[in-house]
Structure 1
């Protein structure tokens, strides 16, 4: 019961953040009416979101925080839809065979794959993620190649385009890439050009591309694309896709895996 209540609260927080982003502000009264919650609960929600840096509290409501000045840290972003991201990560690891060379990007969803890799044998993991590399450093059956680049402190990962010449020497079986958005028109998209440039190179050279996108990213287009539909082999998500999207992907031979939390 507690787990279900926590998931409901997380979903409500995500919807509040979406409202603030779209409208620029919300009021306590609006939240009470929209979500059928008490004034005390609405205020508590806003207080919690302000502590995470996602909004700025005002008298009677909240305003959108300056995301450029206060980007959300990796540890904060991991908390949202945490169980869903773990389910996606576990399902993604199920696609990996012993002995393969795979790329795992530095996003909060892809990072959950590290929790389920211990039983794999003779893997080589290419990643920009310091967290993934540190986690796997105690797993002798897995070799880790850490991509070089500038450190992005908010994601705990290196960013920037890696050397195509160096990556081309590696036989990358699959590239597992999180994204800030996924649509039929734009494919997999992301927020920062450093991440986009990095994943463009990897997806160009990998034999197969696997998109890891929770349901909040479906139908969303972010700053720039790093993989089109023609590049993608599989999409792993946490809820059934919209009825108009699933047939279009199946027509293109893209496998869709729904991972249940």
Structure 2
């Protein structure tokens, strides 16, 4: 296979699968790991892909949009590692707002029977929280988004404004030096109000969400207290986190 054909094939595989391991690329192309690594370096230099630990993601600054089923099955091991770190920040007898993200849903599973007061706009997250006998669950009112299974609208925002909680768990669609973004205004307005109601805002974002953007801005970076992710961001983003006093927690060793 000519190098140009191989590069095109690798680019297509990454684009179709969003995130691909080196082992998968080796199996799909029939070349060595060293060859794949060199090809990934070349594609990254052309700003087509972004290399990650053990693989690559397609370099699209617009964050990808998935429905609930797709989101629930994406990067599960990474979600679980981020969820484990987030669960450690939630104390007993605390109050927490849980947004409608599947990463936040993973946190709920890590909390077990921890006593707390929970508020959410997600039907699936409310169902998970209900399994905890020591948890008081408040499901926010509003209009149901039938594909994503969350509640939104003026009624949701108005009710949120009545609460003040210890922590807000915020699943991130896209985050950059310019702030936190999402693809829809209706969900973005709910998340924006959630941010305002918490003493500590804990943002959960795998590496594919960093340095991406979306249609609607949720909040500035300065409104986030903690960011949990699975890979060290680039130097510019690290500098922005420091400038805005955002604590960074990595699920992997900082290198």
TM-score w.r.t. length of structure 1: 0.70
Match runs of 1:152-171 below 5 Å: 152-162=145-155, 166-171=159-164
Instruction: Note the alpha carbon deviations across 1:9-43, whole angstroms, 9 max, x for none.
Output: xxx96643559xxxxxxxxxxxxxxx455479xxx
Aligned to 2:80: 86
Aligned partner of 2:143 among 128, 139, 150: 150
Aligned to 1:206: 198
Aligned to 1:130: 123
Aligned partner of 1:100 among 94, 102, 115: 94
The question of whether the paired residues in 2 share the 8 Å contact of 1:152 and 1:158 is answered with: yes
Q: How far off its partner does 1:82 sit? A: 0.8
| Residues 260 and 159 (structure 1), Cα distance of their counterparts in 2 relative to 1, 3 Å cut | farther
Alignment pair present for 1:253 and 2:245: yes
Aligned to 2:16: 16
Shifted more, 163-172 versus 216-225: the winner is 163-172
Alignment pair present for 1:184 and 2:177: yes
| Residues 162 and 112 (structure 1), Cα distance of their counterparts in 2 relative to 1, 3 Å cut | farther
Aligned to 1:234: 226
The question of whether the paired residues in 2 share the 8 Å contact of 1:150 and 1:159 is answered with: yes
Q: How far off its partner does 1:238 sit? A: 1.2
Q: How far off its partner does 1:184 sit? A: 0.6
Superposition RMSD in Å: 2.6
| Residues 161 and 209 (structure 1), Cα distance of their counterparts in 2 relative to 1, 3 Å cut | farther
Instruction: Note the alpha carbon deviations across 1:86-106, whole angstroms, 9 max, x for none.
Output: 111121111111111111111
Aligned to 2:5: none
Aligned to 2:70: 76
Alignment pair present for 1:113 and 2:113: no
Q: How far off its partner does 1:162 sit? A: 4.4
Q: How far off its partner does 1:154 sit? A: 2.0
The question of whether the paired residues in 1 share the 8 Å contact of 2:140 and 2:159 is answered with: no
- Structure 1 portions without partners, runs of 5+: 1-11, 20-34, 41-70
Aligned length: 204
Q: How far off its partner does 1:144 sit? A: 0.8
| Residues 162 and 86 (structure 1), Cα distance of their counterparts in 2 relative to 1, 3 Å cut | farther
Partners in 1 of 2:131 and 2:28 — Cα distance?
48
Partners in 1 of 2:225 and 2:155 — Cα distance?
22
Match of 1:245, SS state, is helix
Partners in 1 of 2:18 and 2:131 — Cα distance?
39
- Structure 2 portions without partners, runs of 5+: 1-11, 20-24, 31-64
TM-score w.r.t. length of structure 2: 0.72
The question of whether the paired residues in 2 share the 8 Å contact of 1:172 and 1:205 is answered with: yes
Partners in 1 of 2:202 and 2:118 — Cα distance?
15
